[in-house]
Amino acid sequence: MRNLYLIDGSGVAYRAFFALDQNLKTTTGIYTNAIYGVTKMILKILEKYVLKNEDAIIFIMDKKTVTYRHKLLESYKANRPETPKIFIDQIPYILEIVNALGIKTIAEEGYEADDVIATLSLKGQKDFNNIYILSSDKDLMQLVNDKIKMLRIGRGITDIIEYDVNKVQEKYGFGPEKIQDFLALTGDAVDNIPGVKGIGEKTATKLIKEFGSLEEIYKNVRNTTKSIQKKLVEGKEMAFLSKKLVQLVTDVPLDINWNDYIYRGFNDNLEDLLNEFEFKSILRELGLKERKKAIKINDLPEVDDLSSKGSYELLSHNNLKDFLETLKKQDVVSFDLETTSIDPYQADILGIALSFEPKRGYYIDISSETYETKIKILGELWDILKNKNLIGQNLKYDLSIMKNNGFDFKIPYFDTMIAAYLISPDSRRFNMDDLAKKYLNYETIKYNDVVNETLFANTLKDVDINTVAEYSGEDADITLRLFHVLRPKIYEFELEKVMFEIENPLIPVLAQMELNGVYFDIPYLKELEKEYTIISNNILKEIKDMAGYEINPNSPKQIRELLFERLGLSPKKKTKGGKFSTNAQVLEEMKNDHPIIQKILDYRKYQKLLSTYIQAIPKLVNKKTKRVHTSFNQTGAATGRLSSSDPNLQNLPIREVEGEKIRKAVKAEKENYVLLSADYSQIELRVLAHMSKDPVLIESFKKNLDIHTITAAKLFDVPENQVDHHMRQIGKMINFSIIYGVSSYGLSERTGVSVNEAGIFIKKYFELYKNVEKYQQQILSDLAKNGYVETLFGRKRFLNNLRLNKNDLKRMAVNTPIQGTASDIMKLAMIKLNAKLPEYAKMILQVHDEIVIELPEEKKEVVSKIVKETMENVIALDVPLRVDINISERWTK
């Protein structure tokens, strides 16, 4: 007997959350009631039903997405109360424990879990003796037949009732095939299925038993009582709409290999997870070891309770002597500056917070001192701290402040923000307040509360000094406590190489780049503003002439009225709110339908260039330096790429002539100075060649052949010397698309060829580069086994913790090791360049594969050689790294 078990993951998790005490949590503050409930339910199923190495089992999750049901009824599921945050926070852990239990997960874009379950159930009838669905959802009862059975959750979390056809008949008085009609009449308050107002379960059952289907009920509506007849007539539209809403999709496009879901037993990490979640009873039940996970690293002192309040002392420069002597004896010191501004060039240092013992913090107040005295105190402190293992939260800022006041950079020992990011790169927030809540279950004193509670206060300078000492001393202490929690995890996840050899040494490099800033030619931008404003106004006049009346091209409402009502064009897509979309993607698809659409796109383009860049950048010029100072973020992208913000200088447009003109506003500030742009050539393809060990790719790069022409020749079945520009562009597109795990549909969208042709192209690609396909399959296999993918340097991304459909999971899994490795190589190059570049050559920008350096023109040959040699030899791969150098007064590509 070979059976298939389908678990309604979202429903089961939700049921567990509300069935168990919601205050259940670990000593580290992780809420676990839903995790525990799901674990117990699955273990019950595994114990009672599933046969190892024979039965298949799948955990199906909802995906937060718009389905056809939302389009049928805008209020579908809208009346559900907001999902509790402590439930949402448990979802990644639930997926983790499900994986550790040896069960794989499916979630499909555009479909609910019920639809996926329905599709899998019907598909599985050919290959399995029985299909069992674990859920408490009545909708799924309609699937029950001779092969498909329902395991409904009864009271509590482990009371399971099996429903076959007879059991459904016994409970409802009719068979599973009538469930849809039943729900069409009664509705479902949870999912906001309206049903017929006033018709309850008892009446619905009577009607179905008497007349059969919903259609037959309405044919015989006059044969019902006057009261029921009135309700049915008034609710007819909602009845038939409800029937459509509860109808299950049975043809979800799923590419399933049942062997991938055969149950093989627990994974190796189950014991560790159960210990982490402190599920002692389950550990005992399974005969596993209950233990505290301990990692000894340089004899870290053990800290029992990290969630209680600490004690914080206010110091002034008059009583520093004894404190400094104590500080000299410490090894690890948490360091945090309090200032009046986030701008290092404007910030005035108010004080220094330090901690070297959990639950103790010290604040040295220098807010009233003269600048000379401040520098003296800072100097005494820095002479000690520069020889210590310095830790902090976002130390890049503190180091920038110190550097701007004349103190040399120091490579931090541990930055808690960076550590938290490496451990969980797909998390969104890495600020100290959130980390304290997540890892310490500690509510910190908030900056805004401290400042806002003081009348007329603008910064901490205006707040009572004892309050500041409490707030700042806590910051340093909490950072130290986070260090005690996060450092063992860095070693546990084998992330020490990434942190200590890449991310930490990069911090002072980025701090210096931010201080260097970027010079913009403001008069040039002013002229560009005039030019683009004239063009924009002319386009607006053309739109008015074509439409016959004044219109705002940025107004979706007005554009909808123009295109779909006045011009009668066919809409392509609706927004989530059910209105016809007029976004850029939709208008691009429609631009051949009417000439006014291209004008609307052109107007929007120029307006965006004006507002986002041309008019915005001059306002961001620092008054003191006359340059723009962006922030480079190490925690901005889950793959390891750097991002840029305030402003985002990595996003300056380059693809069209109009955008390139904006990029040219970046120039060397001084006379006889130039910008050197160093760009890694095809670095991600070279990384792919190295990691896949594909002989064709490796040989092509070693011989410096045109890889895009080679690919195009294979795709179009022509000799390389007959590959034209269009063919080469297709070859180039598929080369880079493969890195992103592109599907036939995705490639079709990018290239304009049919889905069938795109599929043929992908097949031919893998025929040429055979090892690439093997490598991608290995990545997916490793992900299923380990729960993460990793770069060449050990940077990890825990994709199994995310709610992803199969296509998104594949895309991220395939792309992350390549993009992440390329990013790590760039970061290493920046670190080495920072050490080798002469003082007069300043790194000012980094944009993915490119570094921009400002230097005297007379030194361009010397610096070019240093840059090229350093970047090309930063790491030895199976293929050579190549760097293209471009030198100009302005930043050009």
Q: Give the pLDDT confidence of 445-467 residue by residue, as tens digits.
A: 888 777 777 756 677 878 889 88
**Residues 469, 377 share a domain:** yes
The reply to whether 466 and 538 lie within a common domain is no
Spatial separation of the C-alpha atoms in residues 282 and 278, rounded to whole Å:
9
Q: Are residues 536 and 409 in the same domain?
A: no
Residue range of the domain that includes 612: 522-620
Place 268 in a pLDDT band, splitting at 50, 70 and 90.
confident
Q: How far apart are CA 337 and CA 402, in angstroms?
A: 9
Q: Is-contact 205 95, C-beta < 8 A?
A: no
User: Distance between CA 253 and CA 99 in Å, rounded?
Assistant: 23
Predicted pLDDT at 107: 87
Q: Look at residue 299 in the predicted model and tell me its pLDDT.
A: 37
Total structural domains within the chain: 4
Q: Is the pLDDT of residue 439 over 60?
A: yes
- Dihedral sign for Cα 643, 645, 649, 654, please: positive
Tens-place pLDDT, residues 649-689: 888 887 778 888 899 999 999 999 999 999 999 999 999 99
111-125 mean pLDDT:
90
pLDDT of residue 158: 66
Spatial distance between the Cα atoms of 11 and 61, rounded to a whole number of angstroms: 8
Phi and psi of 75, rounded to 5°? -90, 10
- 427 and 552 part of one domain: no
Q: How sure is the predictor about 29, in pLDDT bands with cuts at 50, 70 and 90?
A: confident
Residue 843 lies in a domain: no
Contact 194, 183 (CB under 8 A): no
Instruction: Establish if 539 belongs to a structural domain.
Output: yes
Question: In this structure, is residue 445 part of a structural domain?
Answer: yes
Residue 296 has pLDDT above 60, yes or no: no
- Report how far residue 34's alpha carbon sits from residue 832's, in angstroms, rounded to the nearest whole number: 48
- Within 10 angstroms of residue 865's Cβ, the number of other Cβ atoms is 11
Q: What percent of the chain has pLDDT over 70?
A: 94
CB 270 within 8 Å of CB 101: yes
What is the reported pLDDT for 73?
47
Pair (446, 544) in one structural domain: no
For 660, counting Cβ atoms within 10 Å of its Cβ (0-12 exposed, 13-18 middle, 19+ buried), the class is middle
DSSP class per residue in 514-563: HHH-B-B-HHHHHHHHHHHHHHHHHHHHHHHHHHTS---TT-HHHHHIII
Instruction: Give me the numbers of helices (H) and strands (E) for the chain, helices first please.
Output: 37, 20
Query: What pLDDT is stored for residue 294 in this prediction?
Result: 35
- The answer to whether residue 370 sits within a structural domain is yes
Q: Are residues 441 and 322 in the same domain?
A: yes
Per-chain mean pLDDT for the chain: 88
Among 768, 801, 820, identify where a domain stops: 768
Tell me: do 347 and 457 sit in the same domain: yes
CATH number at 413 reads 3.30.420.10
What integer pLDDT is reported at residue 71 of this predicted model? Answer: 46
Residue 724 pLDDT level (bands cut at 50, 70, 90): very high
Write down the pLDDT at residue 191.
Answer: 61
Q: Do 538 and 465 reside in the same domain of the chain?
A: no
Residue 64: pLDDT band by 50, 70, 90 thresholds?
low
Is residue 373 located within the same domain as residue 427? yes
Give CA–CA dist 580/556, Å, rounded.
9
Mean pLDDT over residues 151-176, rounded? 83
Span 11-27, average pLDDT: 81
Amino acid at 318: N
Strand-pairing partners, residue 143, are none
| Model pLDDT, residue 297 | 34
Asked if pLDDT for residue 370 goes beyond 80, the answer is yes
Higher pLDDT, 281 or 765: 765
Task: Report if residue 256 sits inside a domain.
Answer: yes
> According to the model, what pLDDT value does residue 283 have?
86
Q: Are residues 124 and 254 in the same domain?
A: yes
pLDDT score recorded for residue 301: 42
Q: How many CA atoms lie within 13 A of 243 on its CB side?
A: 14
Is the pLDDT reported for residue 23 higher than 80?
no
Listing from the earlier edge strand, what are the strands of the sheet with 104-106?
Answer: 104-106, 56-60, 3-8, 130-134, 148-153, 160-163
Cα–Cα distance list, 791 to 27, 150, 178, 692 (Å): 33, 43, 53, 12
- 663 class by beta-carbon count within 10 Å (0-12 exposed, 13-18 middle, 19+ buried): middle
Q: Which of 55-69, 219-233, 600-614 has the highest mean pLDDT?
A: 600-614
Predicted pLDDT at 867: 97
The domain spanning residue 543 has which CATH number? 1.20.1060.10
The contacts of residue 622 (CB under 8 Å, 6+ apart) are: 343, 345, 517, 628, 629
Report d(CA 886, CA 675) in Å as an integer: 8
In this structure, are residues 277 and 26 in contact, taking their beta carbons and an 8 Å threshold?
A: yes
Strand partners, 845: 852
Q: Name the range with the highest mean pLDDT among 79-83, 376-380, 737-741.
A: 376-380
Q: Are residues 486 and 541 in the same domain?
A: no
Whole-number Å distance between alpha carbons of 639 and 813: 10
Checking if the pLDDT of 30 tops 60, the result is yes
Out of 183-197, 355-369, 382-396, which region has the weakest mean confidence (pLDDT)? 183-197
Which helix or strand (DSSP H or E) is residue 336 part of?
A: strand 332-339
Predicted pLDDT of residue 417: 97
> Is 166 contained in some domain?
yes
527 shares a domain with 486: no
Q: Does 417 reside within a domain?
A: yes
Cβ atoms < 10 Å from Cβ of 234: 13
Axis crossing angle, helix 683-692 with helix 806-836, rounded to the nearest 10: 110
In a domain, 809, yes or no: no
Query: Tens of pLDDT along 746-775?
Result: 888 777 788 888 889 899 999 999 999 999
CATH of the domain at 43: 3.40.50.1010
- For residue 508, the model assigns a pLDDT of 96
pLDDT digits (tens, 9 = 90+) for 829-873: 999 999 999 999 999 999 989 999 999 999 999 999 999 999 999
- Neighbouring CB atoms inside 10 A of 310's CB total 20
